[in-house]
Chains A and B, each alone.
Chain A
């Protein structure tokens, strides 16, 4: 029978690019598999209260079986616990807050992207490999920002030159750049998603500083890179996916995505695609009406991921390789190339906090 999926994601306003990529990746997988899935995708406007109400609607009125789509951690925290309590499945294509990985983990909650700290941890690991010993850390002042610095420090072994939290949404980084200059750091680790990252990278390039930058993939994703341009060239960043990961699934995905939508897929598109692939694999094994069987089928993660090997840790978050990428230019297009592996079969730090 038809499986009903409710997708709550950001389709309007500033953060829409991410939501659209997740949705497009997700839909592509369904289309390719010809799976019998009905997707109801709706815009959460990046507001937690709207997201909660959409979840209510999808559960109560649309009677969906599975929910997915949320981009932002704060929205996920608002929506997921209530949804899974009502016996629905939630597959996260992006947000992976520590709360949902640890204390508030749930048997019906699966994260197909990463635990939030993962890419930061990998960046810390990479910093060790690169021989950095005095890092300057920079993130916006909100929970995800603090998690991203904690994740880095969890693996990074060197000293911390300074740790600076900026206002969320800040676009002006001259004061921080001055502090970096004065700090004597040998590397800068930063987490500044979206427009913040664009502004920072451009301003950093203008400042004439040449201390190496490293960060999680979020500021270097395919959509954003074109806007940063030259200023991002050569920067190392960590990601569980890149378009040049060498496996047939990924190759096919990148090609078909480009053919379908006329643009290169981003990290988020791959996550949307993988989420749908996981769902389809589980559908093949069990009916969603048999929750236990369906859950086991999901847990088996018996699908071909665009990132290669993929398995779930006990708290239903990925065990996966995380790569180091470098920003390059291919023709006119700025993109990433994998230059190394930061961590292999990496899980997450919250497994022990999770009792399910």
Chain B
């Protein structure tokens, strides 16, 4: 095992962390800050990816595709909020679970209806394509650097939005007492629709970007949903910094785990068992991490809210 391999894996972990943050960014807003349980987050992610793929194929421009992913997911988000979520604020949280669970079915099957059952083509635009050479002889895909960069920009943007703007203050106020903030003169309904749409748009953007290097297919949002929840919960609700830190932590743990665990077990058992046990453990790793964090800090790393 060489130093450059380890460095590269660290870089991979970091990059995966940013990717996770990107996938979780929309949910941070909707779930972490607004406090809505939205299982259909993965659907917005999928809608973004499909919109990007379809529009990029039709227009030949990746950028137009990205814009379409934002627009389509935001529109879907606004629609969902106005038609469904808005009617559930006064209800039990569990009704949100059931409603958004049902929305997953609607969106997944609807997408399959429109686009068919086959995965769509979406690939890295030419000028972001291919590897760059890093010192130490590591080739690293350029697109992945772009993802890190975009992740950072979104992290900073979200942080400022939530922590520093009046809009952010109002969203947080609405999370704890909608009735009161309205009685003080804030149009919380419109605000929530807007922010929900922004959250959905971020999910859509993530779907487009990540779909570019993964696959664009029906059902792609489901694993993302769980991952995104894991990231936000580990970070602590409502904390953007927490979400970012936790995404990187999960990214590093997952990457290093799948790479090092089999090797580690190899030192004291025969290699095929080691491989089995190691990779089994690696696939459980982020859940072990989450359970551990919550056991030690029941409101997540940066969380204060116990909701």
Q: Specify which chain A residues have a CB less than 8 angstroms from the CB of B299 in the assembled complex.
A: none
Q: Does A175 contact B (CB under 8 A)?
A: yes
State which of B24-32, B64-72, B79-87, B117-125 sits at the interface with chain A.
B117-125
Q: Is the CB of A167 within 8 A of B117?
A: no
Q: Is the CB of A165 within 8 A of B215?
A: no
**Given the complex, which residues of B lie within 8 Å of A203, measured CB to CB?**
141, 213-214
In the complex, whether B186 has a CB less than 8 A from a CB of chain A is no
Most chain B beta-carbon contacts within 10 A, residue among A141, A178, A207, A209: A178
Complex: chain A residue closest to B119, CB-CB? A227
Which residues of the partner chain A approach B143 to less than 8 Å between Cβ atoms?
206
Say which residue of B1, B119, B124, B283 sits within 8 Å of A167 (CB atoms): B283
Cα of A279 to Cα of B109 in the assembled complex, Å: 32
CA distance A175 to B109 in the complex (A): 33
Q: Which residues of B contact A12 (CB under 8 A)?
A: 109, 112
Are B141 and A224 within 8 A (Cβ)? no
CB-CB < 8 A to A231: which residues of B? 123
Contact of B214 among A164, A179, A195, A229 (CB under 8 A): A195
Are A164 and B219 interface neighbours, CB within 8 A? no
Would you call B121 and A223 a contact (CB within 8 A)?
A: no
> Which secondary structure dominates chain A's binding surface?
helix
Interface pair B123/A202, CB less than 8 Å apart: yes
Within 8 A of B (CB), among A195-211: 195-196, 198-199, 202-203, 206-209
Q: Determine the interface band of chain A, counting residues with CB < 8 A from chain B.
A: 35 or more
Q: Is A247 an interface residue (CB 8 A)?
A: no
Question: Within the assembled complex, what's the spacing in Å between the Cα atoms of A206 and B212?
Answer: 11
In B111-170, the 8 Å CB interface with A consists of 112, 116-124, 129-131, 139, 141, 143-144
Size band of the interface chain B makes with A:
35 or more
A227 touches B118 (CB 8 A): yes
Whole-angstrom CA separation of A181 from B12 in the bound complex: 13
Q: How far is the CA of A12 from the CA of B8 in the complex (A)?
A: 39
B279/A165 in contact, CB under 8 A: yes
Of B4, B124, B214, the contact of A171 (CB 8 Å cutoff): B214
Contact: B262 with A167, CB < 8 Å? no
CA distance A165 to B141 in the complex (A): 23
Asked if A166 is at the interface of the complex by the 8 Å CB criterion, the answer is: yes
CA distance A196 to B119 in the complex (A): 11
A contact residues around B120 at 8 Å (CB)? 227
The residue in chain A whose Cβ has the minimal distance to the Cβ of B285 is: A167
| Cα A120 to Cα B109 with chains together (Å) | 33
Q: Counting CB contacts under 8 A, is B255 at the interface?
A: yes
Question: 0/1 per residue, B250-266, Cβ < 8 Å to A?
Answer: 00000100110010000
CA distance A117 to B212 in the complex (A): 32
The answer to the question of B217 belonging to the interface, with a C-beta cut-off of 8 Å to chain A, is: yes
A206 engages B259 (CB within 8 Å): no
A-B contact pairs, 24 of them (CB 8 A): A13-B219, A14-B218, A20-B117, A141-B279, A164-B279, A165-B279, A167-B283, A174-B12, A175-B255, A178-B12, A178-B259, A181-B139, A195-B119, A195-B217, A198-B119, A202-B212, A203-B141, A203-B214, A206-B131, A208-B131, A208-B139, A223-B117, A227-B215, A229-B123
